[in-house]
Structure 1
């Protein structure tokens, strides 16, 4: 083998592209090759004797030191790229191999072979830099990003794919994209995949089905991925557009709805752009102009309607366009036809919009109403003008005088809400409301109340008012005070009732005279004739005289009964009422019958409020309860103990006093028409005159009440007395 000289090795080391150097145990350079000048800018003598670690970047000194400590064991260590300070102050990237030659007598140090890899490091840095950008774009993208291989299966996905599909990364990896696509979108998805495989990047909307079975609308942008000129796969970005599409659809529907609304507006409506050209014309406006809409759209309004240039409308349009504020006003036109129009002009993003109503007839109606109002204000009757909902718009002085309300108090209110009260007939009120709804003229009488609470009867005459389109615009009601008339009718009815009762009493008295008086009078007359012919010393004379006495006594009893009845009727009308404690009166009656009730083993249940006081006649209430309890004792059932229940409850017109027993009872089908007649008796086996119930009914009626009976044989009898008396403190 050929041996080389020392100069040979020196020349090779000096001209090597790598930097060959030797450091001692302390890390100081003992030898530096000539290439240090080319690589680092240092002359070899500038480095010899210096510590190598001082030139290494501080962030990497520890890494290099840890690797160098392995030399005693491994003898040779490879040190990956690290930064080394050049003479110019720039950091150069070096890659080194360190060989332990401390025991070599020719070297006595650590041989370091260094290669400048700065350019490679820069390329690697740029690669990592761009890779970081790509990863950020892929994984941190706010939308779902994925890659698909040429077979159509997912290779890589970002975190948002889980949010979009409901599948996690492991489930998606290797899954065919077709599994995600809804059946009705599969054809579109396959077409998009074919296009991108042919090199065409594009976007498509499809429907996918999530892991939970929910269908979503997704916008997908797909693009081919090439490496060194070869197609490697497809990258895509997917965005959930379900809500966006729904919103867009809703906006379209709303736009269509708005267009339908504009088309349905019965009054003329149109829109103008900033050059005063028609951009929208409603069917009503086209009809108003007598033209087709296509003839108007795009035309300038001032050219189409030159007569408007000298109108207030023209100036108002300019003001709205300039100041962007809505204006309302009316204007009278004489051309092309006389009319009064009410305009609403408001700004739009690209011009103005105009809506107007022909109020010619309305204005004429208002003028007529003003005239009628003037006439109505002078009449003594009440006049009320209401809107279609029966809210008051105007009343005359007569109404204020009749009701006590002023105009400010009634405007906007319904007459029924103000005037009807507790005693207003609900059926009549409902009939009036129904007649209002029929929108036909009607008349009615109703009890109302003034502001002061005073009752007043009104005769109302209501007429509905319609416009030219048969739309209801007003009700006009005339109200006449008929209180005096109703009071007269009430008195007349009472008089008729009194006459009826008196006639009935006369018939009853006629019956009494013809039956109850005739028998004792005839007996008395016969006996009187007999007595005159009989000798006084005979026994027959004494017997005849005794019978004559009984006949006269019977006659006297009948006359007393008649006087009692007549006195009840008279005193019932004239006697003053007093505060009567009903429970106290009941207790007094029960005390009177205490022995009889105890003897009969009767149970009496009383349910009357101890504080209840009625404005009534005490003697009558006592007599009524006395007679009813007397009858209960007299007609008790033999088969069971007597039970009596006495209650007093509030009734809608006063108080209801009830006395019920479980006695023998009556067959109401048989006795109903004769129950309260004078001298009518239904239990001849028991003593009595048949006047008790007649007196009860007479006293109840004298108190202004009514009495009803409910009875069944062998079950008992219930008397219910309806007292119109008012409760007093």
Structure 2
């Protein structure tokens, strides 16, 4: 035996172990009772009496166990619990409501065991009852929270369905309106060109007014075309599956399709070695890259040779596409909140419709990605597009 084991244990107060078995039964933290096979009570502890508000002489030999339950509980005990006791000798954790002397109820769990005599005949039932008031409150709170969550979920589902329907109706309206307006606007442009060709204006103020009208007409046509593009692209994407696309090839194709004179005067640097491919609907990726690259060319800073860098790199759960330029930049402190709003423009001196960045953001969100933008005025802009793999 080790020295530690040989050390004398501390003296115990023997009064702590001198338990009275009758007191343990009477003051137990649960209700105890014994009854005959028909339910007649023959013994009950003080805990159960205190719960119920009865004196012992009011219950023992005068009442049955099942009479302590509510009407529904009594029917359940007689039709289910008592036959089950006779069949298997015990029951566990059956929920009942005790009816107190003052008419209030107490939720309890019943455990019971059937004792038999030497001949195997039912002799006595010993029952233990546990107060589950707090447990019942907790269960009811859970049910209430679940009902609220279900109601909230149903409300969100209804709202989502409503928003989906409204978005569809808005897309149809925008498409119809842009289609109906395009022809009259084109006719106006044709008539205006014919007017300029055939008419003679002697007023010296006519020339600048004609130029202003021409600019306004071109802006109207650009806005109509932008509206049509937004809806048409959305309808295409709903029908086009994702595919594996080589980033180098599609980017080079887009650069070739940019206005030749503009693209020829731009230095493009492409690096897709880290992540050479991306799975996405081809029209979506084409539109996304085309708008970013065309903006990089369009908003070049006068007097500085434009440079555009396009990179891919792995990111958590997917990849990040980076498009950076050395152009005019955007004042994000002033315009950051409106950056992806439809028809919002930040360089009015450069022709445009204000649709490009709106489309880019919409396409990225539809692909379950997100955008990060950094920009410094007169230094350039960087778009970082995070997309899932």
Query: Normalised by the size of structure 1, how large is the TM-score?
Result: 0.30
Q: Secondary structure at the match of 2:9?
A: helix
Shift of the alpha carbon at 1:619?
A: 1.3
Task: State yes or no: 1:573 paired with 2:238.
Answer: yes
- Would you say the 8 A contact 1:637–1:663 is kept in 2? yes
Deviation at 1:569, TM superposition (A): 2.6
User: Which residue is equivalent to 2:109?
Assistant: none
Check 1:549–1:589 CA distance in 2 against 1; reply closer, same or farther (3 A cut): closer
Residue in 2 that maps onto 1:212: none
Looking at structure 2, the residues matched to 488 and 584 of structure 1 have their Cα atoms a distance apart, in angstroms, of 46
Q: Name the structure 2 match of 1:709.
A: 373
Is 2:330 the partner of 1:666?
yes
Q: Cα distance 1:664–1:551, how it changes in 2: closer, same or farther (>3 A)?
A: closer
CA contact (8 A) 1:584 1:610 kept: no
CA distance, structure 1, for counterparts of residue 367 and residue 349 of structure 2: 33
**Counterpart secondary structure, 1:682:** coil
> Which one of the candidate residues 18, 23, 34 is aligned to 1:289?
18
Is 1:602 aligned to 2:267, yes or no?
yes
Structure 1 CA distance for aligned equivalents of residues 296 and 16 of structure 2: 89
Cα deviation code 1:710-729 (max 9, x no counterpart): 211122111223334xx3xx
Match of 1:687 among 318, 333, 351: 351
Residues 219-618 of structure 1 aligned to structure 2 (within 5 Å)? 251=3, 255-256=6-7, 258-260=8-10, 263=11, 282-283=12-13, 285-289=14-18, 337=22, 373=93, 461=142, 488=154, 491-492=157-158, 494-495=160-161, 498=164, 539=199, 558-592=223-257, 599-600=264-265, 602-607=267-272, 609=274, 612-614=277-279, 616-618=280-282
Q: Quick check: 1:697 aligned with 2:371? A: no
Please give the per-residue CA displacement for 1:280-311, whole angstroms capped at 9, x wherever unaligned.
xx31x334438xxxxxxxxxxxxxxxxxxxxx
Counterparts of 2:320 and 2:333, CA distance in 1: 24
Structure 2 SS opposite 1:337: helix
Larger Rg: 1
Work out the CA distance in 2 between the residues paired with 1:501 and 1:557: 22
- Cα shift readout 1:227-263 (whole Å, capped 9, x = no counterpart): xxxxxxxxxxxxxxxxxxxx9xx94x7655x412xx4
In the alignment, which residue of structure 2 is the partner of 1:619? 283
Equivalent position SS for 1:613: strand
CA distance in 1, matches of 2:311, 2:227: 31
Summarize deviations over 1:161-183 as a string: whole Å, max 9, x none.
xxxxxxxxxxxxxxxxxxxxxxx
Q: Which residue of 2 aligns with 1:153?
A: none
Kept after mapping to 1: 8 A contact 2:274/2:314: no
Candidates 310, 318, 321, aligned match of 1:646: 310
What is the root-mean-square deviation of aligned Cα atoms in Å?
Answer: 5.7
Residues 607, 487 of structure 1: alpha-carbon distance in 2 compared, 3 angstrom cutoff: farther
2:298 pairs with one of 618, 634, 650? 634
Deviation at 1:667, TM superposition (A): 0.6
Contact 1:636/1:663, CA 8 A, preserved across alignment: yes
Specify whether residues 336 and 443 from structure 1 end up closer, same or farther in structure 2 by C-alpha distance, changes over 3 A only. Answer: closer
Instruction: Name the SS of the counterpart of 1:626 in structure 2.
Output: helix
In 2: Cα distance, 1:723 partner to 1:259 partner: 68
- Contact 1:642–1:661 (Cα < 8 Å) also in 2: yes
Using a 3 Å threshold, how does the CA distance of structure 1 residues 664 and 560 change in structure 2: closer, same or farther? closer
**Structure with higher helix content:** 2
- 1:637–1:662 contact (8 Å) kept in structure 2: yes
Structure number with higher strand proportion: 1
What number of residue pairs does the alignment pair up?
281
Distance 2:288 2:222 in 1: 21
1:441, CA displacement in angstroms? 10
Q: Which whole-Å CA distance do the structure 2 matches of 1:640 and 1:373 have between them?
A: 83
TM-aligned CA distance change 1:680 to 1:460, over 3 Å: same
Q: Do the aligned partners of 1:573 and 1:702 also contact (CA within 8 Å) in 2?
A: no
- Judged with a 3 Å threshold, the aligned counterparts in structure 2 of structure 1 residues 585 and 599 are, in CA distance, closer, same or farther, namely closer
TM-aligned CA deviation for residue 659 of structure 1: 1.4
**Secondary structure, counterpart of 2:346 in structure 1:** coil
User: Residue 627 of structure 1: CA displacement?
Assistant: 1.4
Cα gap change, 1:553 to 1:681, in 2 (>3 Å):
closer
Distance 1:649 1:479, change over 3 A: farther
Deviation at 1:690, TM superposition (A): 3.0
| CA deviations over 1:577-601 (Å, ceiling 9, x no partner) | 3333444323432444596687435
Task: Say which SS state the counterpart of residue 684 (structure 1) adopts.
Answer: coil
Structure 1 unaligned segments of length 5 or more: list them. 1-246, 264-281, 291-334, 341-358, 365-369, 377-438, 445-458, 463-477
Answer yes or no: is the 8 Å Cα contact 1:581–1:610 preserved in 2: no
Alpha-carbon contact 1:568-1:702 (below 8 Å) kept:
no
Gapped runs of 5+ residues in structure 2? 33-89, 97-133
> 2:386: which partner in 1?
722
